[in-house]
Structure 1
């Protein structure tokens, strides 16, 4: 691999800036200064340093969208030996972890990655990442109950941020609702629905920002597209 490409893959700088660093005699390969732009390194044998600090290839970033089934915990491992979402991901060599959580009995869209910066962005409250759920609840919320839900409820001693709830369908003393929140507190949607007198029967997350679950089968996964990854990285609020 050409030296400047290797440096770029190590996260030192862009290829063009890496070329300048090479020409400035700041790069050594096996303790020998190299200032040739065409120089090639053996990534399995050669030791490369910049300003006398060894550099290493960054782990390839992986971004996965999973349609989580119920009955799986959103952790890398479980002390009670319950199945985890990692059990559903095969053929990925990198060590990935879930971004945020979906309850054991909640299904739907879950992102897994090894990108710590993106994980922070998607889980920190200040970034206001919208999450969309479809839920079957008992009964049919009244307009007054909808207003309470949307303007904030006192749960576990704190007031929830503004949210939205929309009735999609009514049937057999139950209703199907669409809920949007940007917080991610423990079992928050379930607690909010219970607080207005309409406990959750089933709950599924269908979108994070504009990233949608679509028709992905339950238990299956796919890699996020480059466009989707760029969207998640660039948006200040989703």
Structure 2
């Protein structure tokens, strides 16, 4: 079998996402034939080489699975949450293999979310260069003027979290100890002081500004607090909220209704498997081969 990048092999085995696999490699948690590997460009043959992650031998690729979920509000798009809030993984029933969210919808947002253990596809979908369109319906507080909407259409400068400042609120999944895993999750109500402190930390990290890619925007429901449909080809953290904040309006609701060729067609909190045809179309949208996958 031809050699492949280590992060791709680890992701295909269902250990973690490709991005997290890169962190595992860089941290020295991966070895090939007894030698610790920390260089991300390293390749290996999964059929001939002995690859270990955190000391455990890798056992080849898992059967790939592709899920579409209608994420409700009040769930975090992550495998586990250090604050003990419900995660989208709590909604999965009857799925016995590990899957991971592709990108994220924030705690207060809802709608179409993809989950898979296909690390290569997830990586392609999350790259801005893939240009896979994502469609949202958004409720805005107050009515933006046409000049503001035009700024969003053309692309505008928004604040983003610095890549060079560590996030204080999130621990690396790979660093959790056995004791952490045994500790029960306790969901506590956050006080106003906690919320203000968290907001202050978040604001202190917004030290860079980037220009968003052009977006399609159209009003779908008029009113004092109108609804707009937005089509984006990138997915920065809290991007929609920050775009509207830049033109002076608060976003009250966000719901993702399309992701590439896929449309939201199930009730909140439910999920379904993608058909072979849907998987082929999704891969084609990213430039991957249309070879049918086992579902």
What TM-score does the superposition give when structure 1 sets the normalisation length?
0.74
Gaps of 5+ in 2: 1-11, 13-46, 51-57, 160-208, 288-295
2:70 match: 67
2:273 match: 223
Q: Which has the larger radius of gyration?
A: 1
Name which structure has the greater RCO, CA cutoff 8 Å, separation 6+: 2
* Cα separation, 2, equivalents of 1:75 and 1:56: 25
How much has 1:52 moved relative to structure 2?
A: 7.2
Change (3 A) 1:52 1:114: closer
* Cα separation, 1, equivalents of 2:99 and 2:68: 12
* Cα separation, 1, equivalents of 2:120 and 2:48: 27
Gaps of 5+ in 1: 1-10, 12-50
8 A Cα contact 2:144 2:249, kept in partner: yes
* 1:167-197 residue CA offsets vs partner (Å, 9 max, x unmatched): 01112x1101001111111100010011122
How much has 1:235 moved relative to structure 2?
A: 2.1
1:43 match: none
Change (3 A) 1:114 1:142: same
2:124 corresponds to 1:121: yes
Q: Among residues 112, 120, 136, which one is paired with 2:115 in the alignment?
A: 112
How much has 1:57 moved relative to structure 2?
A: 5.9
Aligned-residue CA RMSD in angstroms? Answer: 2.1
* Cα separation, 2, equivalents of 1:56 and 1:108: 34
What TM-score does the superposition give when structure 2 sets the normalisation length?
0.60
* Cα separation, 1, equivalents of 2:88 and 2:258: 18
How much has 1:147 moved relative to structure 2?
A: 1.0
* 1:37-82 residue CA offsets vs partner (Å, 9 max, x unmatched): xxxxxxxxxxxxxx97799663111100000011100000111111
How much has 1:153 moved relative to structure 2?
A: 0.8
Q: How many residues are paired up?
A: 187
Structure 2 counterparts to residues 71-150 of structure 1, below 5 A:
71-150=74-153
Structure 2 counterparts to residues 123-202 of structure 1, below 5 A:
123-156=126-159, 157-171=209-223, 173-202=224-253
2:250 corresponds to 1:210: no
Change (3 A) 1:118 1:236: closer
